[in-house]
Amino acid sequence: MALTDTFIKTVKPKTKAGEKHSDGGGLYLLVKDSGKYWRLNYRYGGKQKTLALGVYPEVSLKTVRDKREKAKEQLAAGDDPSIEKRKDKAIKVEASKNTFEVVARTWLEKSQADRMASTQAKVTTWLEKDIFPHIGKLPISEIGPRDVLGALRHMEGRGALDSVQRVKQICGQVFRFAVAEGSAERDVTQDLKGALEKHKAGNHPAITEPKQAGELMRSIHGYEGAPYTVAALKLLPLVFVRPGELRTAEWAEIDLDAGEWRIPAIKMKMKVDHLVPLSSQALEILKAIQPLSGHGKYVFPSLRTGERPMSENTINGALRAMGYAQDIHTAHGFRAMARTILDEVLNQRVDLIEHQLAHRVKDANGTAYNRTAHLPARRLMMQAWSDYLDKLRVGGEVVQLRGAVA
């Protein structure tokens, strides 16, 4: 007769050796003073064998019957259930050694040569703060898309939209490393496309919060790439011109003594000459790079040949190398960063900002300003902007954007 839950719960042992109560198909419950044990008798290779299937009530009647059916399937396939159980146990032990945190730290160590020290520290902090507390102890082979999404949702919940996509990419790199090492089958983050809220910053992805801007500036000043790339990367946030205008900058356009960069109309989107007042910090960068490229045409020449300007992908490539994904911040994003913070934090006049962005700005009579309009005020604004970025970079006081949530 098959066992019932009521019988199993109430049955008591009658002897010290205990009693066996059959459920059929070789499955029985061994009742002893020390507990109630599930066992399965079966024959394999002409020999009688017994398989331990757990202890009641941790293993319920329904669960143990499922285990019995699994053992029957293994026998039908020519496998010994006892050996298969040992294999499963060995796999679980190995999996417990390959938790997400263990694999991630191994990946961090083996790939650190590909990152700057500042980026390595940032990636490590993200993992330790946002990922390990949620999935760090789980075997990486058992982690699914929803497990990773749950960790990333916590980041969304506190408003870290500018970082969540980058952390997802980092998790993807860990999974791909695990696949290569044989401890995972696939990169489960690929199933999360479209599942996360994207950081919105206008037409071009941009960091516009002062705190994150400070982190970005620290990353830039810690970047150790080619001299021309480093100089261009440091200068672009200060002048916030379009990336194409920066990479094609010519020494003939720059007056270091006057502290001005005059970009001809042919290079401008609006086909109007543009004047960029250069802060003391911008001049320092240009004077430092002048001995290297001052003998040629371009301020930032191509690394392959000085006869052409820097590649259009160079600055974005450097940002990617620092850990800033394409959907988080781009070379063009420095314009949105300046536009937002100059207005909302530094309270600069919007018409001055727009003019410096080389947007069409008209006076009260509807007449477009010329390139020298309000030059003294714009010069002060550009210096104030460079000074503010320096304060953010060294950890000075950060003023929160209007309407932002603490």
The domain spans of the chain are: 5-95, 100-192, 210-393
pTM more than 0.75: no
CA quadruple 286, 290, 292, 294: dihedral positive or negative?
A: positive
Write out pLDDT tens, residues 149-163. 999 988 877 666 667
Which is catalytic among the residues 269, 287, 360, 362?
Answer: 269
Confidence at residue 271, expressed as pLDDT on a 0 to 100 scale? 80
Q: How far apart are the first and last CA of the chain?
A: 66
pLDDT at res. 368: 52
Of these residues, 242, 247, 274, 378, which one is catalytic?
A: 242
Confidence of residue 93 (pLDDT cuts 50, 70, 90): low
211 contacts 403 by C-beta, under 8 angstroms: no
Q: Per the residue annotation, which of 369, 371, 374, 379 is the catalytic one?
A: 369
What integer is the mean pLDDT of 174-185? 91
For position 404, what pLDDT does the model report?
42
Range scoring the smallest mean pLDDT among 94-108, 186-200, 225-239, 259-273: 186-200
Lowest mean pLDDT among 84-88, 115-119, 263-267, 402-406: 402-406
pLDDT score recorded for residue 157? 76
Which tokens hold the place of 317?
A: 């490539």
| The predicted structure's pLDDT at residue 362 | 53
Asked whether the bond before 227 is cis by omega within 30 degrees of 0, the reply is: no
Catalytic choice (65, 329, 332, 355): 332
- In this predicted structure, the answer to whether residue 208 has a pLDDT above a threshold of 50 is yes
Q: What is the mean pLDDT of the chain?
A: 87
pLDDT given at position 405? 35
Of 287, 359, 360, 362, which is the active-site residue? 359
Indicate if 43 belongs to the active site: no
Position 117 confidence tier, pLDDT thresholds 50, 70, 90: confident
Domain 210-393 sits in CATH 1.10.443.10: yes
Q: For residue 105, indicate whether it is catalytic.
A: no
Quote the pLDDT of residue 30: 94
Q: Is the pLDDT of residue 45 over 90?
A: no
Provide the pLDDT for residue 297: 93
What whole-number distance in Å separates Cα of residue 90 and Cα of residue 249? 63
Residue with the bigger pLDDT between 358 and 405: it is 358
269 is catalytic: yes
- Compute the half-sphere exposure of residue 305: CA atoms within 13 Å on the CB side of its CA: 2
The token duo for 224 is 């150790």
Any catalytic annotation for residue 154?
Answer: no
What order do you get walking across the sheet with 260-263 strand by strand? 254-255, 260-263, 274-277
Q: Name the CATH superfamily, with its identifier, for domain 100-192.
A: Tyrosine recombinase, N-terminal domain (1.10.150.130)
Say if residue 236's pLDDT is above 60.
Answer: yes
Is the confidence at residue 397, as pLDDT, over 90?
A: no
pLDDT at 204 over 80: no
Does the pLDDT at position 74 exceed 80? yes
- Please give the average per-residue pLDDT across 183-191, as a whole number: 91
d(CA 39, CA 56) in angstroms, rounded, equals 11
The number of CA neighbours under 13 Å toward the Cβ of 116 is 18
- Reply yes or no on domain 5-95 having CATH 3.30.160.390: yes
Q: Give the side-chain half-sphere CA count within 13 A for 198.
A: 15
Say which of 335, 339, 355, 378 is annotated catalytic. Answer: 335
In sequence order, the β-bridge partners of residue 52 are 39
Percent of the chain with pLDDT over 70: 89
Segment 120-141 mean pLDDT: 90
Higher pLDDT, 270 or 67: 67
Structure confidence at residue 18 (pLDDT):
87
